[in-house]
Amino acid sequence: MVVIVFRSRVREGVDLASLEKLGQRMYELASAMPGFISYKDFAATDGEGVSIVEFEDEASLLAWHAHPEHQAAQAKGRSEIFSEYHVQICTPYRERRFG
**pLDDT for position 36:** 98
Any residues with CB less than 8 A from the CB of 24 and at least 6 apart, and which? none
Spatial separation of the C-alpha atoms in residues 98 and 2, rounded to whole Å: 21
Q: Which of 3.40.390.10, 3.30.70.1560, 3.30.70.100, 3.30.70.2740 is the CATH number of 2-90?
A: 3.30.70.100
Angle between helices 68-76 and 16-31 (to 10 degrees): 150
- Give the pTM: 0.90
**pLDDT for position 84:** 97
Give residue 5's region: left, alpha or beta (phi > 0; psi -120 to 50).
Answer: beta
**pLDDT for position 67:** 97
**pLDDT for position 57:** 97
Identify the segments of the chain with pLDDT beneath 50: none
pLDDT in tens, 13-40: 999 999 999 999 999 999 999 999 999 9
Task: Count other C-beta atoms under 10 Å from residue 2's C-beta.
Answer: 19
Task: Give backbone dihedrals phi and psi of 49, rounded to 5 degrees, phi first.
Answer: -105, 145
Three-state DSSP at 43 gives strand
**pLDDT for position 99:** 92
**pLDDT for position 76:** 96
